Amino acid sequence: MSDKPSSVDRHDFVKEMYRAYWANMARSMEGTWKVIAPVTVVGTIIAAVHRDYLPPSLGITLALAVVFWGLNVIIDLNAWHRRNLFFLSKAERFFLQDDDYGRLLPTAYKAPKRSWIEFYIIHAIAFLGLLLLCVLYGAFYKLTGSIEDWLLPLFTFILGALLTFINFRKQEASAAKHFKELFQEPAIPPLL
């Protein structure tokens, strides 16, 4: 990086940063309502199975697919949010002065958090709880001992769990890579 920006560039950056923070807060609040959609779909599917409008095997399979889809969306959103916080923190370090931390921003914001964001942890736990409810409802209430009843839901559960694990590992590796590139100096500095 070259010299620090001029005071005019710094002033413009701080104004834009302020606007972006307000926009992000509004987006986070909207995100809460968007998560209700897959939960509602799963509830509707389970109600349809319970009232015998859908065959149990098909209904439980659909509910599992929606839950895994929601869980993977949460994993992706959390990784995207974290990567953007890394990028924002790096830009802030360039434009802001050291004494701005503690005045404009909390000092904790100087180094971005590497772990999951609490908002997404809560959503992931909710989807895992919903997954558990779907499995328990299917296993103990609606699915019979017949292998035909269990085949499709079991396949969906195994495939969903496997793909979710792969997605989780991929997103965590991506976030770790971005953090390392942005905030950790190389072990051996370049010779030139």
Alpha helices (H) along 4-55: 7-50
CA distance 156 to 139: 14
Mean pLDDT of 80-87: 82
Q: Which residue stretches of the chain are H helix? A: 7-50, 56-95, 118-137, 147-183
Q: What average pLDDT does the structure give for the chain? A: 83
Helix (H, G, I), strand (E, B) or coil at 180: helix
Which of 46-55, 87-96, 112-121, 153-162 holds the top average pLDDT?
153-162
Q: Which of 25-34, 72-81, 103-112 has the lowest mean pLDDT?
A: 25-34
b/e map 113-135, b = 16+ CB within 10 Å:
eeebbebbeebbeebeebbeebb
The more confident residue out of 88 and 159 is 159
Tens-place pLDDT, residues 166-187: 999 999 999 888 888 888 754 4
CB contact at 8 A, 100 and 62: no
Phi, psi dihedral angles at 180 (to 5 degrees): -60, -45
* Measured distance CA(55)–CA(152) in Å, rounded: 12
What pLDDT is stored for residue 192 in this prediction?
37
More confident residue, 156 or 7: 156
Give pLDDT, residue 27.
72
Q: How far apart are the C-alpha atoms of 80 and 175, rounded to whole Å?
A: 8
How is the chain split into domains, by residue range?
A: 7-181
Measured CA angle at 121 (ends 91, 42), to 5 deg? 125
How many CA atoms lie less than 13 Å away from 118 in the CB half-sphere? 0
Give residue 166's pLDDT: 97
Q: Residue 105's beta-bridge partner residues? A: 101
Residue tagged 């620090």 (tokens):
4
- What is the percent of the chain where pLDDT is above 70? 87
The pLDDT of residue 2 is: 54
pLDDT digits (tens, 9 = 90+) for 12-38: 877 787 678 777 766 766 766 677 888
**Residues contacting 62, CB < 8 A, separation 6+:** 45, 54
Per the structure block, which two tokens stand in for 46?
A: 């389970």
Confidence category of residue 53, pLDDT binned at 50, 70, 90 = very high
The pLDDT assigned to 188 comes to: 41
